[in-house]
Structure 1
Amino acid sequence: MKSLIKIVSSLLFFLIVAQPLIAQKSGEIIKVLSYNIYHGENPFHAGEGNIDQIAALISELKPDLVALQEVDSMTTRTARVYGAKVDLIQKLAKLTGYSGYFAKAMDYAEGGYGEGVLIKGNGITETQNLPLPAGGEPRAAAWVTYELPSGKNIAFAGTHLCHQFEENRIAQVEAVSLRAKKEKLPTIWVGDLNFRPESEVYKSIKGSWKDAGTLPTPYSPTYGSMEDGARIDYVWYDSNKFKLIDYQVLNVTYSDHYPVFVTLQLK
């Protein structure tokens, strides 16, 4: 009887203690969200702000890292929508409890316009100005060195590539890739990239980079109609360092884009 009790006790110990250790060994989970927020205004209802709804979505999903595109900071455009100039990233940070960082790509309407990131916890942030060999609107990438609960660091970047010239987009993809190589960390980069999967820019992305929304994932447009729109928003990850767990395009209409929500596991 005593032997049976010992066996049962050993099994209970395994279930209670050993199983979590095995789960931890299998790699940490990282959830990321990318969303073009249309400068904080609902495109289908002019003059109506969309920040409260986006904050509620982030609070519901609880991503570790959020990249936001078409972000205004203290512009007259935000004053028209909200009644006073607003730093949209800091407003979202306050509403969600995240840390916020604004990466200005250019001066606009008495303020700034560019990229934003929200971070669950803390991270080291930096702005990368992207090349414009064909001219056009300035572009930037917001970089975060993010510390996971285990103490390991990963790199995360959010960007919005040129909408005018393919030459710019190719150069900008290369610049982000080179920066990732320099970081020498497991890297995820995301954003509104303004190209489709059949484009030359897409084909130029080589090596271990993996598109989280590629087949066999069902094709889901991220801009325009959910039925026949374009897929131009992406989450790219280093497939040598991460494993894809889940990919979703969320059918919410706070912007003219749809949020892309991805769960990855560090290998």
Structure 2
Amino acid sequence: MKQFFFAWIASCCLALSGSAQDVKILTYNVYHGERPDKPGTPNFQDIANLLIQRQPEVIALQEIDSMTLRSATIYGEKLDFISKLSRETGYRGYFGKAMDFEEGGYGEGLLVKKGSKYHTIKLPNPAGGEPRSIAWVKAELKTMEEFYFGGTHLCHEFEENRIAQLDSILSYADSLDKPVIWVGDLNFTPDSPEYQRIPSHWKEAGAMSDSTMVTYGTPENGARIDYIWYDSRKFELVEYKVLPLPFSDHYPVWAVLRMKKEEQ
């Protein structure tokens, strides 16, 4: 009887490890920690509450200030936004600096439940303008499955820069040895040359759900420029939403992806 019981437990564990695993994802341009509709008003607690309520596995935040004079104006002291958000939410945080700004840094933020190999890659700027980067982490799910997750904010001025930055991201993503998801504020629309340039094995969650909801601005005068991209050979889409929240000039973009089972 004992042998039967332990065999049953083992079979259950194997079934669990072989089951499909869902990954909840959120990307959000947070307008450097300030409410655009209420200048000088922090949006930190609104964002922290959103993450606590939603509990995504991986989060990418754009327009992140770290110890800048601007953050001191908004919060009364220089603020390391990601470190504070990490403490408040229980996530592991990482700040990927794109450039120096007002005595501190400005760039990308990642928050994950479990991760390793955090790193930042500078992106090309052939036409000049603001420096840009992408922050990466190797994230790990409860089932011990691993994938790479990247968050970025592409150039808002020059198509030439965005194309070069895309090429850099895609080349690096295709070199990785685990499934990949990359997200962010890409500053181009679905009808742009940049969007059309992305190879077909990369799928975009909004398009796959037939969503036309804007992610920036107002429904009457906005655009869909924030995206969640995934390798369709490794993931399939379960859910996609744009969350209509007023904490920034962008909206949070949410998706659930299911990691495909490996062929035996």
TM-score for the superposition, normalised by structure 1: 0.90
Question: Contact 2:60 / 2:151 at 8 angstroms: preserved in 1?
Answer: yes
Q: Flag structure 2 segments of 5+ consecutive residues without an equivalent.
A: 1-7
With over 3 angstroms needed to count, the CA separation of the structure-2 counterparts of 1:224 and 1:17, relative to structure 1, is farther
With over 3 angstroms needed to count, the CA separation of the structure-2 counterparts of 1:265 and 1:210, relative to structure 1, is same
1:205 aligns with 2:182: no
The Cα offsets for residues 139-164 of structure 1, whole Å up to 9 and x where unpaired, read as: 00000011222222100000000000
Per mean C-alpha deviation after superposition, the further-off stretch among 83-92 and 225-234 is: 225-234
Q: How many angstroms apart in 2 are the aligned matches of 1:128 and 1:122?
A: 17
Q: Secondary structure at the match of 1:169?
A: helix
Q: How many angstroms apart in 1 are the aligned matches of 2:36 and 2:130?
A: 21
1:169 aligns with 2:174: no
With over 3 angstroms needed to count, the CA separation of the structure-2 counterparts of 1:23 and 1:230, relative to structure 1, is farther
- Other-structure match for 2:126: 133
Q: How many angstroms apart in 1 are the aligned matches of 2:22 and 2:140?
A: 13
* Match for residue 223 of structure 2 among 226, 230, 236: 230
With over 3 angstroms needed to count, the CA separation of the structure-2 counterparts of 1:217 and 1:24, relative to structure 1, is farther
The Cα offsets for residues 70-92 of structure 1, whole Å up to 9 and x where unpaired, read as: 00000000000000000000111
- Other-structure match for 1:157: 150
Rg larger in 1 or in 2? Answer: 1
Question: Contact 2:17 / 2:143 at 8 angstroms: preserved in 1?
Answer: no
Q: How many angstroms apart in 1 are the aligned matches of 2:145 and 2:110?
A: 20
Q: How many angstroms apart in 2 are the aligned matches of 1:134 and 1:178?
A: 20
TM-score for the superposition, normalised by structure 2: 0.91
Question: Contact 1:53 / 1:254 at 8 angstroms: preserved in 2?
Answer: yes
Sequence identity (%): 51
* Match for residue 178 of structure 1 among 171, 176, 188: 171
RMSD: 1.8
Matches within 5 A, 1:58-73: 58-73=51-66
Q: How many angstroms apart in 1 are the aligned matches of 2:237 and 2:12?
A: 22
Question: Contact 2:138 / 2:147 at 8 angstroms: preserved in 1?
Answer: yes
- Other-structure match for 1:9: none
- Other-structure match for 1:191: 184
With over 3 angstroms needed to count, the CA separation of the structure-2 counterparts of 1:197 and 1:19, relative to structure 1, is farther
**Partner amino acid, structure 2, of 1:81:** I
The Cα offsets for residues 232-263 of structure 1, whole Å up to 9 and x where unpaired, read as: 00000000000100000000000000000110
Q: Secondary structure at the match of 2:162?
A: helix
Q: Secondary structure at the match of 2:216?
A: coil
